[in-house]
Structure 1
Amino acid sequence: MLKRARGTRIQWTTLILAVVAALMATIATPTSAQGSKSPGGTVTGELSRPAYSYADAIRESVWVDTGLDLDRNGRTDRVAADIVRPSEAARAGRKVPVIMDASPYYSCCGRGNESQKKTYDASGKPVQFPMHYDNYFVPRGYAAVLVDLAGTNRSDGCVDVGGRSDIISAKAVVQWLNGDATAYTSRTGGTKATADWTTGATGMIGKSYDGTVANGVAATGVKGLKTIVPIGAISSWYDYYFAKGAPYHSGGPDGLARAVESQEAAARCRVVKDELVKGAPRTGDWTKLWTERDYVPDAKNVKASVLAVHGGQDLNVRMKHLGQWWDALATAGVERKIWLSQAGHVDPFDLRREQWVDTAHRWFDHYLLGVDNGIEREPMATIEREPDRWTTDAVWPAAGTEATTLRPRSGATPGVGILGTEPATAGSTETFTDDPRLSEADWAAQVDVRTAAKAGFTTRPLAKDLRLSGSAKVTVTATPSTRTAHLSAVLVDVGPDTIRNYTGAGEGISTLSTRSCWGESRPGDSACFLDTGADTRRVNYTIFSRGWADLGNYADDHIGRPLTPGKPHTITLDLAASDHVVKAGHRLALIVAGTDRGLISAPNSQPKLTLDLARTSAELPLVGGAPALVQRSGGQAHSGPSAPLTSVPAPGLIDRLPTGSDHRTSGRRA
């Protein structure tokens, strides 16, 4: 009995001490936070938790001096940065890190699937911050900073479409947050604003133009930028408008500037737009303008980690941008991770919402709050294999990937050839005539039929799955009948499948009527967004990689010249990066043709082109290399056509805005 009573007293003493310790911890830690405090957030179980009031958050605007005077008004340009940050942290003197999205779209076009724009109250104080970054992360101990690029919304200056002004607009804000630049409390006043409330650690995120700016700022090596999350982002603006001299239908950068600039900038920035026109001739020749807007060579300067996201079927910002940026980052030794979907130009928030928010949350926690949650040690690649079915890989491109040369050769029927590892017989040829009325979908639908506008080559049905992972190249030797010619090369998975409907209005998603909430709401800024679902399509072939070129760039990737009719010319087409599995029973096809309707513009003639098959080849990133192809195809070539193929609609014009913007006119997203 005595022993039992003593044990009871010990248990009560332990319990009382535990309660006192808990109360002391609560007194020592302001707000309703639980767990240990880290700079800027409340972390419990290796995750920042909502501890601050979003409704009571501080909302303010500053104007950061860029040091430029692009609008030539005699005063340096200031860019507007709208800020929302936890008031409790400010009162406690606790500094917070920053999640930043720098965009030209906050007033012209909107952000996200619902095209949200910034809104302000009568005194000019920001009310709505588009997207969920503020709603979700501010309660967890972050500040959200949304920057109007120069020449847009409430910023001074001019839009220069990826040039110095765009990049310095955002870089200057990162520098101000880190104590290395000057900001003011108004657009024209002299009262300075300080960023003494932040740790100076900044992460940039954004889709399309916004993600492009994140790439460009990271390439400057600016201090304080700890990570970037570029989504469907451009890495070289030349490659947005041209493919080795072949023009896309996106117009020129001056058109994009007109689409996004403010009314004030439209009046004062005519000179800048004229410079964009002069610096970006529609000849497709490389100029100094493009050098300034090519971030790939400067990947060596990147100090920030990179979480890159792209749609494998993005026909707006094509996968080449991701492939060349990723490879350059790898060479520079940058810490990185990648998400690849089967959709088009779509934000992962609208593809796989719960998993994406969790990934971004843990990513920012690690790189901005310093939480050791292990995300950097997890698999590098998250890849969508089928609609809503995702897998992971330890590295990307996949381990065991080898650049493997496949060669086209003639088959039993002219125009319906064989693709394999054996070279073509010297002197063998295939001929086609450019028909700008046709698209890649038209070619693929008739890969087993002789047509005048393309040359197609296929393997035999595969015995096992064959995976391609990374970037491909196709080298073509062609003899034109005219002085100008454009070429297209596409890789096709020939066989039945269900894919995301990437040529549809939603580019692979459908917007539903229900909403889900991600973070906290307040009047004027809801955390609840329309849900989405996969928009799928049943097909008999899938085009999964593409490349284009002006044959006139045969001697120089950057400069075109007239062709000599009747003379062979050799050029290499860079195909978009991809990660695709050609399933057992399917065939892998290579199609070479002329103008790809809806994707590149036609030349000023309709040439007949004769391919020298012995001097034409494809270098493909096969997992397992050439042996994998031989094992999967049984070492034999395809010997005959399969059943007729159903057609996928041709993609529409890339420039949904008539002026060439990458924003959709439907206002859905950019």
Structure 2
Amino acid sequence: MRAALTLAVSASLVAGAALGPAPAARAAEVAEQPAPAVRFVDIAGEGGTVLKANVVTPAGADGSARYPVIVLPTSWAMPQIEYLAQARQLADSGYVVVSYNSRGFWQSGGEIETAGPKDVADASLVIDWALAHTPADPAKVGMAGVSYGAGISLLAAAHDKRIRAVAALSGWADLIDSIYSGRTQHLQAAALLGGAGFLTGRPGPELRRILGDFLSSHLAEEDKMIAWGRERSATTHLDALNASHPAVMLGNAWGDTIFPPNQYASFYEKLTGPKRLEFRPGDHATAEATGLFGLPNDTWTSAHRWFDHYLKGADNGIDRERPVQLKPRSDGGYEGYPDWKSVQANQRKFALDDTHGILTGVDSGADGGIVMLSNTLDQFLKTPPVASIPLLPRAFAAVWQTERAATPQRVRGTVRLHTTVTPTAGDGTFVAYLYDVGPLGLGKLVSNAPYTFHERTPGRPFAVDLELFSTAYDVPAGHRLALVVDSADPLYIAHNPAGARLSFSSPADDPSYLSVPLRAE
């Protein structure tokens, strides 16, 4: 990590020299400017647990002036130098920055609490330390983080009124809706998080039990697992967060396979203070990754502007911009909206008239991809997971297709499926996929989502409303949309008994449909 950081920063300096003064002159300019002061410290967290941290202060800070302070908890499994490049940039522009390794990881003490009460208490104690040991201004406190650090930042802001601005990037507001959406275990996401936790930290007994039950499908105490996740979700503490009224910026990627974007969008709509929502192409934390190496990055640029306005009072216009900023998965630029509801105000319903029955337990070939890989490839190479729609075996996949569209269809927001399911067993799982289908029948994945049911009466139909993961995707003119439903996907744990069947129908008194939000031209 240190070597990669050094190479990346060196590369950025070389690239910048090509655009500015001659290298010798630029080197002289840099030499004349003192660098921010960096020091590594130990901070006592909740219960005296040692948190390994680094502090970056503006060059020349001597205690005679006070500076806004930003606290950065590290991401899951990341070392304490994760934010060092960003901390230097922030210090250059007049911030004190304290980054610390979350408890239970690397050299910090304690056990992994998964953003539990001790992690929230740690954040407040780090703020206490910063106010006592750095030239930090107690009236100008901010928190930010990527992934795990984002989740802790939101929770801390709900419990500590000193926090006036937050930038929560690639995080979660609802932990259960993230890795257990549709009552379906997100297998690859949970396994990746669990494995990284065991490799780089010390999971506590509660996390070991929760993770073991989750991955083994031992859900006899599902209520306890959900309660555990709810306590660690900012949406549970929404009233306290709104009462505190900090300025909250949320950023995420359309294809985040750890914390899908839906839960952030829903949470954003419920915030009452100053707020901003940004979605970009990519997978978990890939939208922020280059910024962690000190390279130009849209997400971090927005975060800096957010803090500049709400902590330093800079009149940079960010408060006057449309607060919802979306970058589609095509090559288009950013689109601004006044709120999330406006993103998906134009809904088009497609009727799902035919009845389809499928055998469960067999992967049809329609899949959501591989965690942290498929959507990263889509981000950089525009190559989402694909499937040949005509070749999908209809015994294992139900398929509906629209007519070819005469004009481009710009999908924006959350696609919703309403259908009636009749199972032959009490438990079951299915996964819905939306594809962009070209003239040769090759489908590019637009979105997907799983759904699991338990203790239903075999043979008795029931209605299902399922939200697919939010996205921004442009379907070219002449292409079709295809809805595919099957019962197995490597991303998720399925609950289909051997030999079970699922039937999808459209009763006259409750027709099935697919509702697609399309951007109005």
- TM-score interval for Structure 1 and Structure 2 normalised by the shorter chain: 0.7 to 0.9
Q: Is the 8 A contact 2:396 2:486 kept in 1?
A: yes
2:151 to 202, 212, 227: 212
Q: How many residues align?
A: 461
Question: What corresponds to 1:172 in structure 2?
Answer: 125
Inter-CA distance 258–385: structure 2 relative to 1 (3 Å threshold): closer
Inter-CA distance 448–359: structure 2 relative to 1 (3 Å threshold): same
Report whether the alignment pairs 1:231 with 2:127.
no
Q: Is the 8 A contact 2:416 2:466 kept in 1?
A: yes
Question: What corresponds to 1:543 in structure 2?
Answer: 445
User: The residue matched to 1:372 in structure 2 has which SS?
Assistant: coil
Report whether the alignment pairs 1:566 with 2:459.
yes
Structure 1 stretches of 4+ with a deviation exceeding 6 A read 278-281
Question: What corresponds to 2:314 in structure 1?
Answer: 371
Report whether the alignment pairs 1:95 with 2:84.
no
Inter-CA distance 56–255: structure 2 relative to 1 (3 Å threshold): closer
Q: Is the 8 A contact 1:90 1:197 kept in 2?
A: no
Q: Is the 8 A contact 1:403 1:619 kept in 2?
A: no
User: The residue matched to 1:313 in structure 2 has which SS?
Assistant: coil
Report whether the alignment pairs 1:621 with 2:517.
yes
The code of the aligned residue for 1:571 comes to: V
Give, in whole Å, the separation in 2 of the partners of 1:496 and 1:611. Answer: 27
Instruction: Tell me by how many angstroms 1:366 deviates.
Output: 0.9
Question: What corresponds to 2:325 in structure 1?
Answer: 382
Instruction: Tell me by how many angstroms 1:461 deviates.
Output: 1.5
Inter-CA distance 254–340: structure 2 relative to 1 (3 Å threshold): closer
Structure 2: gaps spanning 5 or more residues: 1-29, 369-384
Inter-CA distance 316–354: structure 2 relative to 1 (3 Å threshold): closer
Question: What corresponds to 1:282 in structure 2?
Answer: 217
The code of the aligned residue for 2:67 comes to: V
Inter-CA distance 380–445: structure 2 relative to 1 (3 Å threshold): same
Inter-CA distance 298–87: structure 2 relative to 1 (3 Å threshold): same
Instruction: Tell me by how many angstroms 1:541 deviates.
Output: 3.2
Equivalent runs, 1:247-396 vs 2, <5 Å: 247-249=185-187, 250-251=189-190, 255=194, 258-259=197-198, 262=201, 265=202, 269-270=204-205, 273-274=208-209, 277=212, 282-283=217-218, 285-287=222-224, 288-302=227-241, 303-326=245-268, 330-345=269-284, 346-348=286-288, 350=290, 353=296, 355-386=298-329, 388-396=331-339
Q: Is the 8 A contact 2:430 2:494 kept in 1?
A: no
Instruction: Tell me by how many angstroms 1:256 deviates.
Output: 5.6
Inter-CA distance 333–496: structure 2 relative to 1 (3 Å threshold): farther
Question: What corresponds to 1:151 in structure 2?
Answer: 104
Instruction: Write 1 or 2 for the structure with the bigger share of strand.
Output: 1
Give, in whole Å, the separation in 2 of the partners of 1:480 and 1:361. Answer: 52
Q: Is the 8 A contact 1:485 1:606 kept in 2?
A: no
Q: Is the 8 A contact 2:429 2:451 kept in 1?
A: yes
CA deviation profile, 1:429-479 (whole Å, cap 9, x unmatched): 211122443443499624345621111212211222333332333233211
Q: Is the 8 A contact 1:163 1:293 kept in 2?
A: yes
Give, in whole Å, the separation in 1 of the partners of 2:148 and 2:190. Answer: 16
Report whether the alignment pairs 1:244 with 2:182.
yes
Give, in whole Å, the separation in 2 of the partners of 1:228 and 1:154. Answer: 26
The code of the aligned residue for 1:370 comes to: G
Inter-CA distance 476–164: structure 2 relative to 1 (3 Å threshold): farther
Report whether the alignment pairs 1:59 with 2:12.
no
Question: What corresponds to 1:402 in structure 2?
Answer: 345
Give, in whole Å, the separation in 1 of the partners of 2:207 and 2:329. Answer: 45
User: The residue matched to 2:208 in structure 1 has which SS?
Assistant: helix
Give, in whole Å, the separation in 2 of the partners of 1:65 and 1:233. Answer: 22
Inter-CA distance 476–595: structure 2 relative to 1 (3 Å threshold): farther
Inter-CA distance 357–342: structure 2 relative to 1 (3 Å threshold): closer
Report whether the alignment pairs 1:429 with 2:355.
yes
Inter-CA distance 347–202: structure 2 relative to 1 (3 Å threshold): farther
Q: Rg: which structure is higher?
A: 1
Give, in whole Å, the separation in 2 of the partners of 1:396 and 1:483. Answer: 40
Inter-CA distance 256–367: structure 2 relative to 1 (3 Å threshold): farther
User: The residue matched to 1:375 in structure 2 has which SS?
Assistant: coil
2:421 to 478, 482, 487: 478
In percent, how many aligned pairs have the same letter?
20
1:85 to 57, 62, 71: 57
Give, in whole Å, the separation in 2 of the partners of 1:481 and 1:489. Answer: 19
The code of the aligned residue for 1:618 comes to: L
The code of the aligned residue for 1:324 comes to: S
Give, in whole Å, the separation in 2 of the partners of 1:275 and 1:129. Answer: 27
TM-score (norm 2): 0.77
Give, in whole Å, the separation in 2 of the partners of 1:358 and 1:405. Answer: 35
CA deviation profile, 1:165-204 (whole Å, cap 9, x unmatched): 2333224323554x6xxxxxxxxxxxxx545543442322
Inter-CA distance 64–97: structure 2 relative to 1 (3 Å threshold): farther
Instruction: Tell me by how many angstroms 1:234 deviates.
Output: 1.9
Root mean square deviation of aligned Cα: 3.5
Instruction: Tell me by how many angstroms 1:142 deviates.
Output: 1.0
Give, in whole Å, the separation in 1 of the partners of 2:407 and 2:239. Answer: 39
Equivalent runs, 1:448-597 vs 2, <5 Å: 448=390, 451-495=394-438, 540-552=442-454, 562-597=455-490
Inter-CA distance 441–157: structure 2 relative to 1 (3 Å threshold): closer
Inter-CA distance 404–197: structure 2 relative to 1 (3 Å threshold): closer
Q: Is the 8 A contact 1:52 1:86 kept in 2?
A: no
Give, in whole Å, the separation in 1 of the partners of 2:161 and 2:430. Answer: 43
Inter-CA distance 256–160: structure 2 relative to 1 (3 Å threshold): farther
Q: Is the 8 A contact 2:75 2:145 kept in 1?
A: no
Q: Is the 8 A contact 1:348 1:356 kept in 2?
A: yes
Give, in whole Å, the separation in 1 of the partners of 2:322 and 2:206. Answer: 48
Instruction: Write 1 or 2 for the structure with the bigger share of helix.
Output: 2
Q: Is the 8 A contact 1:161 1:257 kept in 2?
A: no
Instruction: Tell me by how many angstroms 1:309 deviates.
Output: 1.9
Give, in whole Å, the separation in 2 of the partners of 1:214 and 1:581. Answer: 34
Instruction: Tell me by how many angstroms 1:495 deviates.
Output: 3.0
Q: Is the 8 A contact 1:313 1:343 kept in 2?
A: yes
Q: Is the 8 A contact 1:52 1:140 kept in 2?
A: no
Structure 1: gaps spanning 5 or more residues: 1-49, 69-75, 111-116, 119-127, 180-192, 410-423, 498-538, 553-561, 629-670
